[in-house]
Amino acid sequence: MEKERHVLVVFPHPDDEAFGVSGTIATHVQNGTPVTYACLTLGEMGRNMGNPPFTNRENLPKIRKEELKAAAAALGIQDLRMLGYRDKTVEFEDDEKLAKAMLSLINEVNPSLIITFYPGYSVHPDHDATGAAVVRAVESLPAAARPKLHCVAFSNNCVEELGEADIVHNISAVADKKLAAIQAHRSQTEQMFGDVTEKLKNQDPQMMVWINNERFWTYKFDK
Amino acid sequence: MEPIKDYRQVQEAINAFANQDVYIHLETTNGAYASHHDQTFFSAGAYIRNALVRYEIGKITGNDPYRVGLKINLGWIYAEGLTHFEVDEQNRLLLAGHDNKGKLAVALEISATPFE
């Protein structure tokens, strides 16, 4: 993995960082690279309430905020920003204002690499809207001044339309940190984690590929 | 949250908010990934937060899951599929419908003060 000056990660939900990019984040942290994680919402609309329910609609954001902090700590992220937008409403925000907010973050942090979702290929409307805002912000910079932009995509048509990911990081060296980050988002991941733990114990080949490889598409600007 | 076992408890809480200005939170959702996992699934949802209304009648009916309807100034609000309730520390009535995996499918909440 290339050594970066500063990495800026921009996602809309607590736990978006856990599955696809936490190994990459942990590796940058281990390399001594400062990582800023800007999380737009607190996942207020999460639906996993447990059975019997362990919380309610009004208290869930408080739980997810603490889980986000714990996950960031597990990965060694020192600069965690919670931007205060509301889950499932990012796409309805003023596009220009949102891009401006992203631009001011970029100007402040001055990253050499930004990681976000690939707009149009990331399934959840918040993912697509967040990625699109970051793309607009980076696009507004002169081409020579733009940081690298690595995007996560997982829609059913992403490989068909974007081709295979051009960047694949094997993160097995920090897999324990990745699992700790996933586990930190207990309210979202506990239900599936029992299954994951079992498969890890047995070194399930499909699971190991999924855990150990993080895929990114370099965003292609028109100009 | 507790399962709604005795609907009368909920009815009393609904009655306590009648004929005064109240804030409503109402949502229903299948989750953002429903059509990603099953492309034949038609995903729909609705959400309103901090609608300021006043109701003259509010009623809980049905037999687990329950329905709640509120007759407001010029119209109606209702939710179906409700399974759990709670009157929280801020004295708000929180009603929720959880599916068989514990996922929130519907929520109807009533408060005398705006929700955060």
- Choose from B86, B104, B108 for mutation: most chain A CBs within 10 A: B104
Q: Across the interface, do B107 and A57 touch by the CB < 8 Å criterion?
A: yes
Q: Name the stretches of chain A with pLDDT < 70.
A: 194, 223
Nearest chain A alpha carbon to B46: A88
In degrees and rounded to multiples of 5, residue A198 shows phi and psi of -60, -45
**B105 inside domain:** yes
Q: Which residues contact A220 (CB under 8 A, 6 or more apart)?
A: none
**B82 inside domain:** yes
Q: Indicate the length of chain A as a whole number.
A: 223
pLDDT for residue B41 is more than 90: no
* Two structure tokens written together for B66: 């329950």
> What is the predicted pLDDT for the residue at A189?
84
* Two structure tokens written together for A206: 């499909």
**B66 inside domain:** yes
**B102 inside domain:** yes
* Two structure tokens written together for A113: 């690499």
Kindly report the CATH number assigned to the domain that includes residue B107.
2.70.180.10
**B62 inside domain:** yes
**B45 inside domain:** yes
How many residue pairs from chains A and B have C-beta atoms closer than 8 A?
A: 63
Mean pLDDT of chain B: 95
> What is the predicted pLDDT for the residue at B33?
81
* Residue B103, min C-alpha distance to chain A (Å): 5
- Choose from A16, A42, A44, A47 for mutation: most chain B CBs within 10 A: A47
Nearest to B20 by CA among B90, B70, B79, B81: B70
The C-alpha atoms of residue B83 and residue B64 are separated, in whole angstroms, by 6
Q: Which residue has the higher pLDDT, A202 or B106?
A: B106
Contact between residue A75 and residue A181 where contact means Cβ atoms under 8 Å apart: yes
> What is the predicted pLDDT for the residue at A57?
97
**Least CB-CB distance to A57: which of B3, B31, B104?**
B104
> What is the predicted pLDDT for the residue at A223?
60
**B99 inside domain:** yes
Q: List the 4-63 stretch of B: residues with Cβ below 8 A of A.
A: 25, 27, 29, 31-33, 36, 39, 47
Q: Which helix (H) or strand (E) holds B23?
A: strand B22-28
pLDDT for residue B31 is more than 90: no
Contact between residue A49 and residue B104 where contact means Cβ atoms under 8 Å apart: yes
In degrees and rounded to multiples of 5, residue A107 shows phi and psi of -65, -35
* Enclosing domain of residue B38: 2-111
Query: DSSP letters of B42-83?
Result: ----EEEEEEEE-EEEEEEEESSSEEEEEEETTEEEEEEEE-
Q: Give the CA distances from residue A216 to residues A10, A21, A83, B67, in Å, rounded to whole numbers and listed in that order.
A: 14, 9, 24, 46
Terminal Cα-to-Cα distance of chain A (whole angstroms): 26
Q: What is the mean pLDDT of residues B10-30?
A: 97
Q: How many domains does chain B have?
A: 1
Q: What is the mean pLDDT of residues B11-35?
A: 93
Contact between residue A38 and residue A81 where contact means Cβ atoms under 8 Å apart: yes
**B116 inside domain:** no
**Residue B65, preceding bond cis, omega within 30 degrees?**
yes
